[in-house]
A = this chain, B = another copy of it.
Amino acid sequence: MDAEQLRENAHKMVDFIADYYKNLETFPVLSQVEPGYLSKLLPDSAPNHPESLENVLADVQSKIIPGVTHWQSPGYFAYFPSNSSTAGFLGEMLSAGFNIIGFSWVTSPAATELEVIVLDWLAKMLKLPEHLLSSGQGGGVIQGTASEAILVALLAARDKALKKVGKTSLPQLVAYASDQAHASMQKACQIAGIHPENCRLVKTDSSINYALSPNLLREAISEDIAAGLIPFFLSSTVGTTSSTAVDPLSALGKIAKDNELWFHIDAAYAGSACICPEYRQHLDGVEEADSFNMNTHKWFLTNFDCSPLWVKDRSALIQSLSTKPEYLKNRASEANMVLDFKDWQIPLGRRFRSLKLWMVLRLYGLENLQCYIRNHIKLAKQFEELVAADSRFEIVVPCVFALVCFRLLPAHNDQDFGNKLNQDLLDSVNSTGKIFISHTVLSGKYILRFVVGAPLTEENHIISAWEIFQDQATLLKSN
């Protein structure tokens, strides 16, 4: 456990990981193992005596890697991406090296202060309103995930509302989002004790590209108020998980304001695109947000986890989440001279995550990051064109960012048949091991989701991927 032992072994690990990246395209993207495979390969108790790193790495190669689904593979097009980059990886290394626990300022002032600075940088890149920056009453904080971001926003909103109407009114509180909102919305409600039937998911449809309708929202709020319920929270999404729909923020923000709702914006996926001037329009209306969240660990080259959240009124967050045990008291905190991020999040402990975001911003720079996003969007549009040119397929919703939603058209107009066909197509393309995609259902239709977002994906991967779809579709149709 000394410095030289660390040096020697970590150099070996660097080579192991670099070799992994070198060979990445030789592995099936989606792991092809069966459930329970690993317990057959590993002993059922820990060793009494040390084993060598060579043995462990050999096991990683022969036993772990076959069970890994390779999110960094250029053939990875599923869910949303989880970007790793040299800068993000270096930041993770440095953070693991220091291994500090930055719950309070004093436990490593640099961890808190760098986080404040870097989130101000990112807020400026996104042209977020001034009141979300640290100079005012708000500020940014790195959460682990968008699920935690929406949860802490909801808790702050809940407690603010209950302060006004009395804590016995918890069963009357109603939260709103569209039926396309991420499942973390319902989970946050469940955790916070909001009754499930008061988590109001407003219906969307294809006529408005699955965005939240301000009119339907207004109606729902009116009905709830008439029924004696208390609206308190609205979450809108910029880039929904199923189809990257963009809710109309300006109109929704106005409704939130009129009804004194906490207005949360979940831009977990598409926030990254908004550093490009031509996509910034999707954030118009963010001026009314009480909280705004994006995941730099998705499509922004920052290794997981790193989910910046900005709030307009940090005191609301702190009132819901602060603890002041004696054993954590210190002069800087007592004097109110510093921020203690433990009071902005669910856990107490926190890693030095701003390092990796700082390294991403400095080692790549704004212009390269914009190019990176634009290139993926360009590749996605290219894929969309390929799909559109093949009459056997249909594009289900227009591609807004880098997700293409499409499906193979069934021979006859039976929805179950069409759904089964596309599920079979998904299984068959994923079984090739060359690409990995996922799916969703929109208006009852089973849809294939093809997301361009892995850092190593280039044009040739898009072309090959499309050939795989074509070949598998031909095979399926001929069966």
Taking Cβ atoms with an 8 Å cutoff, the residues of A that contact B are: 1-7, 9-11, 13-22, 30-31, 33, 35-39, 42, 44-51, 53, 55-56, 60, 63-72, 79, 82-86, 88-90, 92-94, 96-101, 105-111, 113-114, 116-117, 120-122, 124-125, 144-148, 151, 155, 167-168, 170-171, 182-184, 186-187, 190-193, 195, 241-242, 297, 301, 303-305, 320-321, 323-329, 331-332, 337-338, 346-349, 351, 355, 358-359, 361-368, 427, 438-441, 449, 455-456
Contacts and interface: CB of A to CB of B under 8 A. Distances in A.
Contact of A171 (B60, B106, B168): B168
B97 A361 contact: no
A46 B361 contact: yes
Contacts of A187: 321, 323, 346
A433 to B, nearest CB: 14
Contacts of A19: 3
Given A19-B3, A121-B46, A108 B323 contact: no
B327 A439 contact: yes
Contact of A18 (B3, B37, B367): B3
7 contacts: A46-B365, A47-B361, A48-B367, A55-B362, A66-B110, A187-B321, A242-B326
A6 B18 contact: yes
Contact of A110 (B68, B82, B325, B328): B68
Given A38-B113, A323-B183, A17 B145 contact: no
Given A51-B365, A183-B325, A195-B167, A304 B101 contact: yes
Given A69-B109, A122-B46, A362-B51, A6 B89 contact: yes
Contacts of A51: 362-363, 365
A120 to B, nearest CB: 7
A89 to B, nearest CB: 5
A377 B456 CA distance: 49
B50 A364 contact: yes
Judged by DSSP, the binding face of A is helix
Given A3-B22, A145-B348, A241-B325, A82 B101 contact: yes
A60 B94 contact: yes
A456 B5 CA distance: 13
Q: Which 10 A-B pairs have the closest CB atoms?
A: A67-B110, A193-B193, A7-B18, A84-B99, A3-B21, A17-B97, A92-B96, A183-B323, A38-B113, A145-B347
B101 A67 contact: no
Contacts of A38: 109-110, 113-114, 117
Contact of A362 (B47, B147, B347): B47
B99 A304 contact: yes
B46 A366 contact: yes
B86 A6 contact: yes
A44 B124 CA distance: 9
Nearest to A149: B347
Contacts of A337: 35
Contacts of A17: 6, 10, 93-94, 97
A361 to B, nearest CB: 4
Given A46-B365, A99-B71, A11 B11 contact: yes
A1 B86 contact: yes
A104 to B, nearest CB: 10
Contact of A147 (B4, B105, B167, B347): B347
